[in-house]
Amino acid sequence: MPRLVIAAPASGSGKTTVATGLMAAFAERGLDVSPHKVGPDYIDPGYHALAVSSSPARSGRAPRPGRNLDAFLCGPERIAPLFLHGADGSDLAVVEGVMGLYDGAAGQGELASTAHVAKLLRAPVVLVVDASSQSRSVAALVHGFASWDPEVRVAGVILNKVGSDRHEELLREALDGSGVPVFGALRRVRAVRAPSRHLGLVPVAERRAEAVESVAALAERVRAGCDLEGLLALARSAPPLPDQPWCPERETAAARGGAGPAPGGARPVVAPGGARPVVALAGGAAFTFSYAEQAELLTAAGAEVVPFDPLREERLPPGTAGLVIGGGFPEVYAPELSANGPLRAEVAGLAAAGAPIAAECAGLLYLARSLDGEPMCGVLPAEARMSERLTLGYREAVAVGDSPLAAAGTRVRGHEFHRTAVEPGAGPEPAWGLVRPERRAEGFVRGRVHASYLHVHWAAMPEAAVRFVGACAPPRSGSGGGGR
């Protein structure tokens, strides 16, 4: 699998610009490009997926989602298998790094750093360097990053924010003797329009037309300033990976205690008539944060996963037996979500009927009584509001009691990323007991509702999909209409 990791000495150097531009430029040339992102970021993968969607190689086929590779959330042993699963059938995989090349989970060495993931993937690294305030010193910087860890193959440099032809000449001269080739130089120009707000870039789902223009502009910059043929040859120099691709059917079968899927696929638990329980998956502009593997695991566990948009649809999908609401920006759309009273009533009715509901971060806010004074679903006895404080970081937690996602005592790793607050922060039956880096109760288990700020990656806990689908009521013959 030809592959590149796009890294940088520090955040703000231009990783996203270069990685997204490369994905789009290679896709325009007809390559089937598989996009990946190191870490728990949900927003960049949306731009990555858009960047590769123009490839003629995907014509008539399902688009490739942007996928995350997080060694903290999923464990180092799953990184290569998850990568191979996501990149299956592609011509090239491009992996955007996170923060600086060697920055990982706080206090845990290289864990979850871009360098760690690059080593697990045995992938060459291209370092994107912000050259705006240096010339000859760039060689010392690149030498330091290339020699710091001999197991990390820093195999190329792309110079970003170059001021002029003379500036580029000085930079290239300085790097001539470094042993690290220069694969491109991008001029210092007015940034391609990609608006940000309190949690980073505005997601693609909220600005589709503008995002298409932004990605096209990035592709043009990279195409003009980078040696695409050289980069492709570098990607093809990556050695074979000995791992087997991650398989949702095999994972869910193992979670049930089985030996694996039968030849030709899984045999999920379904109703006698062959119907699968419908699991509604919230999406649209207000709920853009989810990992692609979650829906794949739910499907492998026996569910029919049906996406819906709470901003536009007044009914849950027909026959809904379970509901999953991931992260996103409900605080931006609180008035619109509140105005959709019929759907709020259906969600509350679904919870009252005992159907399983899994809500993360944005989903937690949507299930609260109110969000910034706007009425929400009222499933949880809590009020939510915007906050000036950013809560961000990896967490380790334990399931306090049994829930549709986890048995009591189950240990998980997760990630918090929000600028909102919920009062109270935990119910009488919390979803999780956080144990690191701090100890506190967090979230709510109320009936079969599991709601929490904690984002978890279900690839690391496939039993969550099995438990959740098992908690769904079996589909009834001829059932129709909305949720409940």
In tens, the pLDDT along 81-95 reads 999 999 999 999 999
Topology (CATH) of 3-236: Rossmann fold (3.40.50)
For 357-409, the DSSP string reads EEEETHHHHHHSSEETTEE----SS-EEEEEEEEEEEEEEEEE-S--SS--TT
Tell me what pLDDT residue 341 has: 98
- Answer whether 0.85 is exceeded by the pTM: yes
Q: How far apart are the first and last CA of the chain?
A: 46
- Rounded (10°) angle between helices 208-225 and 43-52: 70
Angstrom distance (rounded) from CA 154 to CA 124: 6
Q: Which residues pair with 4 in a beta bridge?
A: 94
CATH class of the region 248-471: alpha beta
Tell me what pLDDT residue 70 has: 98
Which token pair is 169?
Answer: 């000449």
pLDDT digits (tens, 9 = 90+) for 34-81: 999 999 988 899 999 999 998 998 888 989 999 999 999 999 999 999
| Tally of CB atoms within 10 A around 429 | 16
**Distance from the Cα of residue 290 to its chain's centroid:** 6
Render each residue's pLDDT in the chain as its tens digit; 484 residues. 999 999 999 999 999 999 999 999 999 999 999 999 999 988 899 999 999 998 998 888 989 999 999 999 999 999 999 999 999 999 999 999 999 999 999 999 999 999 999 999 999 999 999 999 999 999 999 999 999 999 999 999 999 999 999 999 999 999 998 999 999 999 987 655 555 544 456 666 566 678 888 899 999 999 999 999 999 999 999 999 999 999 999 999 999 984 344 333 334 445 545 689 999 999 999 999 899 999 999 999 999 999 999 999 999 999 999 999 999 988 899 999 999 999 999 999 999 999 999 999 999 999 999 999 999 999 999 999 999 888 889 999 999 999 999 999 999 999 999 999 999 999 999 999 999 998 999 999 999 999 999 999 999 999 999 999 999 977 664 444 444 3
Angstrom distance (rounded) from CA 368 to CA 449: 12
**Per-domain boundaries in the chain:** 3-236, 248-471
Angstrom distance (rounded) from CA 458 to CA 75: 12
Tell me what pLDDT residue 205 has: 59
Q: Do domains 3-236 and 248-471 have the same CATH topology?
A: yes
Whether residue 74 lies in the annotated active site: no
Relative to beta strand 444-446, strand 449-452 is antiparallel
Of residues 74, 226, 247, 361, which has the active-site annotation?
A: 361
Tell me what pLDDT residue 414 has: 97
119 neighbors 80 (Cβ within 8 angstroms)? no
200 neighbors 288 (Cβ within 8 angstroms)? no
Angstrom distance (rounded) from CA 437 to CA 422: 20
83 neighbors 71 (Cβ within 8 angstroms)? no
Strand 278-282: give its sheet, edge to edge. Answer: 304-308, 278-282, 320-325, 357-360, 449-452, 444-446
